[in-house]
Structure 1
């Protein structure tokens, strides 16, 4: 019922604005996005296990055993054999439409596919099998309206039975562009708000999936979904709960979940792992916000500009020794930060086009920039036990650890 009220309100405003101005002189030529979509039944037949192919847009990275898994945004997962980090090799591509995140435990790979959760058996990497699909377990999915679009035209798209798999951009004359932008964004927001000792792999700081014990935790823009994975091949949806607002990332440490949002960090305890409980939050200005935790301190990067906010980009050090009252300990200026990771006393920060930055943690709060690896695009990083893995601009980089430094091992172009 709430969904219908929100949509009807949005359509009413659209009609109201469209009726106010009919003169040709009020028409502006704008970019309109129209969804390319298929029925859910068609969508669910699109999963496939394929030979290696070029990546189109690299997303998040995940490490498991001797393999690195690279998300190809909305297309699926590339599998890289990394037994020899100096010479990695692509071996498989799992085609998963509308995929953004994965997590792996004991050779079972969990992946989102729009509103569904998929389970793959990867025990035989040469014979990967889809073994389970939980349908419509996620309230919403990120169907990524192109940033170039001033307006959207959903036409005969059926929100209940169709899935958006792409967009067509067209130039069209529309009335009152400023009003149109306001109404269109409000309509999209209304739709989004209404939809509502084992071997475990390691994800980067941009991850939205985390496995802790026998539970898989996933977050969307405002909700957390909990799955019981005691039976790895047959996960059970435990619950979906409100998690905060504009949630982008999740990090697990010491029986707590730390959710990074565009306006802060939320802390949840796992005293009852089936039902994470809110503890506190730390708020800051608007900015894209991954988080990692080590001991009593959390490290957050805030990327300003564009869709992430209008303020400066920084690295924040948050004292979380008292989980009920996290406090800002120190702030460092950056240029264009994305993911980050910790290995011993070193903090690695992906600073976008400004490269990979290495900070020596003289203390958890006092950071000393010891090196910047320039002339690369740095997006996300995973500090593995024996090597550092980083991705940026469709290239996988690997480095060997040195004392207070790293040395180049390899780069692998994914396209």
Structure 2
């Protein structure tokens, strides 16, 4: 027992100590980036044999295939010819990947700072056709180890390195010496940040940052929207970049407009000039995470509060966009912790996180009615296709078929681990 107290005393003395000049020091848990050279990073982008899914991200559907993003790692390809029994076909290793879009057997994906293009006409022989280098700013990666108090970038050179992960170390620092964001450390304690039918163009969920409209690919980062001309699918060209807003998280296309969901509101951009989207208006809400989908004169936005998304309540907002220059709140409904959502006919599907999948009849957008709730599952994002509904959540991919009376019936589940 005496030895135990002696060790605790030594640890405490080591954590808070003074040097000969009576300067107090402490040990701080610091996140440090795991780095890869740009050359090695780009050489690693390639198709491989299927591998288990460790951390599923976004989903995308194209023809008889489902693509599942492995967060910051790449894309898992499933053959969904038989929705009752999807089969793993390949893994496309794309470090730093967040989003994809597909048109006419060409898959476009971000690889941290690059845009890469793959020919997927032969799913058993996926080949990379081109890389457009240094197209994007590195996406913020706040997936730090638990309980870190600061972040150090002192060994990071953006001209040479890509951040591919994080590790944590204890560093001895002077008490009260907390360098800020623009120095070698980022002090976490004082920070404030926020982490259709089948056709020749695929369909993403409401959490997507990529959209293909005719011969253009649009992408959004935290603030920038970029336009790529994809008339030549295997050799796209960069056209324009604009500052589109603040803390942008998602993008949805409808009626020749792009609707950007940010933590502060919804931005509307016109595609009258497809090579250079033009700002139309903004709908402002409290700070929260907010994917958006649009149907006719109404936009449907889920606002998720808590954690990094904001401190307000979680709700579904219905926004009147009949006059796109003056979007206005039309209705609001309480939810628990919503994520993605989708529309099929008069049905609105809302992924309410751990509260499950909720089905609403939106025949009257100002008075939507809950018709069914799958409470026992975890729901993150959903894609309503022509014949099936695809949903991802937790560790499972769910597929449903549409029934009568605005209902859906489970077809299959696919374990992601």
* 8 A contact 1:316–1:331 mirrored in 2: yes
Query: Residues 182 and 234 (structure 1 numbering): CA distance in 2 closer, same or farther, change over 3 Å?
Result: closer
SS at match of 1:251: strand
For residues 362 and 262 of structure 1, the distance between their equivalents in structure 2, rounded to whole angstroms, comes to 28
SS at match of 1:168: strand
For residues 308 and 231 of structure 1, the distance between their equivalents in structure 2, rounded to whole angstroms, comes to 39
For this pair of structures, how many residues does the alignment match? 389
Partner of 1:336: 337
For residues 370 and 347 of structure 1, the distance between their equivalents in structure 2, rounded to whole angstroms, comes to 10
- Alpha-carbon deviations, 1:37-95, whole Å to 9, x = none? 11111110111211111111100000000000000000100001101111111111101
Partner of 1:61: 59
Partner of 2:380: 379
Partner of 1:165: 164
Residue 413 (structure 2) pairs with residue 414 (structure 1): no
For residues 176 and 355 of structure 2, the distance between their equivalents in structure 1, rounded to whole angstroms, comes to 35
For residues 210 and 337 of structure 1, the distance between their equivalents in structure 2, rounded to whole angstroms, comes to 22
SS at match of 1:117: strand
* 8 A contact 1:33–1:145 mirrored in 2: no
SS at match of 1:232: coil
Query: Residues 371 and 29 (structure 1 numbering): CA distance in 2 closer, same or farther, change over 3 Å?
Result: farther
Cα deviation, residue 140, structure 1: 3.2
SS at match of 1:365: helix
Query: Residues 405 and 163 (structure 1 numbering): CA distance in 2 closer, same or farther, change over 3 Å?
Result: same
Partner of 2:78: 80
Structure 2 unpaired stretches of 5+? 1-18
Partner of 1:140: 138
Partner of 2:8: none
Superposition pairs of residues 73-152 of structure 1, within 5 angstroms: 73-146=71-144, 148=146, 149-152=148-151
Residue 311 (structure 2) pairs with residue 310 (structure 1): yes
Query: Residues 44 and 177 (structure 1 numbering): CA distance in 2 closer, same or farther, change over 3 Å?
Result: farther
For residues 350 and 328 of structure 1, the distance between their equivalents in structure 2, rounded to whole angstroms, comes to 21
Superposition pairs of residues 14-413 of structure 1, within 5 angstroms: 27-146=25-144, 148=146, 149-175=148-174, 179=178, 184-185=185-186, 199-403=200-404, 404-413=406-415
- Alpha-carbon deviations, 1:233-292, whole Å to 9, x = none? 000000111000000000000100000000000000000000000000000000001000
For residues 363 and 22 of structure 1, the distance between their equivalents in structure 2, rounded to whole angstroms, comes to 74
For residues 201 and 278 of structure 1, the distance between their equivalents in structure 2, rounded to whole angstroms, comes to 26
Query: Residues 177 and 239 (structure 1 numbering): CA distance in 2 closer, same or farther, change over 3 Å?
Result: farther
For residues 26 and 356 of structure 2, the distance between their equivalents in structure 1, rounded to whole angstroms, comes to 40
* 8 A contact 1:151–1:181 mirrored in 2: no
For residues 344 and 132 of structure 1, the distance between their equivalents in structure 2, rounded to whole angstroms, comes to 38
Cα deviation, residue 166, structure 1: 0.7
Partner of 1:16: none
Cα deviation, residue 31, structure 1: 2.6
* 8 A contact 1:143–1:165 mirrored in 2: no
For residues 316 and 24 of structure 2, the distance between their equivalents in structure 1, rounded to whole angstroms, comes to 45
For residues 216 and 85 of structure 2, the distance between their equivalents in structure 1, rounded to whole angstroms, comes to 34
Partner of 1:4: none
The CA RMSD measured in Å over matched residues stands at 2.3
Cα deviation, residue 186, structure 1: 7.7
* 8 A contact 1:114–1:142 mirrored in 2: no
For residues 22 and 81 of structure 1, the distance between their equivalents in structure 2, rounded to whole angstroms, comes to 67
For residues 241 and 292 of structure 1, the distance between their equivalents in structure 2, rounded to whole angstroms, comes to 22
Cα deviation, residue 146, structure 1: 1.3
Query: Residues 28 and 127 (structure 1 numbering): CA distance in 2 closer, same or farther, change over 3 Å?
Result: same
For residues 55 and 21 of structure 2, the distance between their equivalents in structure 1, rounded to whole angstroms, comes to 42
Cα deviation, residue 405, structure 1: 1.0
For residues 38 and 296 of structure 1, the distance between their equivalents in structure 2, rounded to whole angstroms, comes to 47
TM norm structure 1: 0.89
SS at match of 1:248: strand
For residues 306 and 25 of structure 1, the distance between their equivalents in structure 2, rounded to whole angstroms, comes to 36
SS at match of 2:359: strand
